Every structure is written in structure tokens, then in C-alpha cells.
Amino acid sequence: MSLERTRCHGITSLLVRFLLLPMTSERRCSTTHRATSGLEAFCQTCPIPEAVTILLEGLGFSLSFQMDAIHYPAYTRLPSLPAQYHYTDAHGTQVIYLAGKDTPLDGERLLRHSSRFWVYPGADAGTYQRIVSVLATRWLLTWLRSPRPHTLAEVA
């Protein structure tokens, strides 16, 4: 692998991991605190983002961050990055929706999927449990403990 390709892959890996961190103090600026652990689900379908947004807005969430899909030129041999949507409610509960199949990075092993969800708890445990249940029912998700969150120092 060329040095340039290795450098691009490393930057892409850093960007993906950073953007998938929940919007906590860790993501904002800290490199020593760990994000709250949450749940992740591998979805066999790829719901349209508008359907996810409508469902979550009905439960008191609002879109707090959005990133369009990124498609790299074929010659870079870098995997495309699916669009992602981050939602937050008044209690700090967070839902991240990755609208497409992502490619494992740096030796990761992922279950077969067409999209992914993550949920991180806020101050209200009832809200957290309700959103986990609603998403699981709506899109037939099976939740797994999210692997231990990375600090920015580990990602870099």
C-alpha cells in the first residue's frame, strides 16, 4: 500500500470514528474522557432518512448533525462513507443513523447489514429504553452493546 493511500485511509478512519462518537464533551474537545456507552444495531434494510427523522421527531428528537454520503474516486481505493444523521432529545439521549452499509476499518469485523443505528443514553433512562424499543420494533433491530467508545487520542 502506498504511503499516500495509507495516509488517506488513516484520515478517513479518523473522520469516520470521530463523526460516529456521540455529541459529548469527548467529541467536542476532550481527549481523556470516555463517551457514555450505548447500543448499536445492524439493520437488514436501509430506511429512507426522512422516515427515520419523522419517527424520531415524533418522539421528541431533533436532527443535530447531518453528513451527506462521501463517494471517493475509484483510483483512491477508499470505501465510500454512507450518509449519517445524528439526533438528540431534551434529555441528551442520542440516536445516530448511518444510512447505508459501511466498510470495516482497521481490522474491524461487522455483521452483515444495510444500515446501522446507535443509541446513547441521556439523563432520562425511560426515554432511552423507549427509543431502543421503538426502533427495534419499527425496523426489526437486535441491539448489541456498543464496543467500548474510543477517545480521540486512541483514534488519532
Residue range 29-88, pLDDT digits in tens = 322 223 458 999 999 999 999 999 999 999 999 999 999 999 999 999 888 899 999 999
Q: What average pLDDT does this structure show over 84-100?
A: 97
**Whose CA is closest to 43, among 142, 147, 146, 125?**
142
Predicted structure pTM score: 0.72
The Cα 52–Cα 86 span in angstroms is 11
Q: Which of 94, 101, 114 is nearest to 39 (CA)?
A: 94
Residue ranges of E strands in 44-153: 62-67, 83-88, 94-99, 115-120, 143-145
Grid cell of 116 as nine digits: 446501522
Is the predicted pLDDT of residue 5 greater than 90, yes or no? no
pLDDT digits (tens, 9 = 90+) for 24-35: 433 333 222 234
pLDDT confidence of residue 109: 77
- β strands within the chain, DSSP E: 39-43, 62-67, 83-88, 94-99, 115-120, 143-145
Gap between the Cα atoms of 90 and 126, Å rounded: 13
Q: How many angstroms separate the CA atoms of 60 and 125, rounded? A: 15
Greater model confidence, 111 or 101: 101
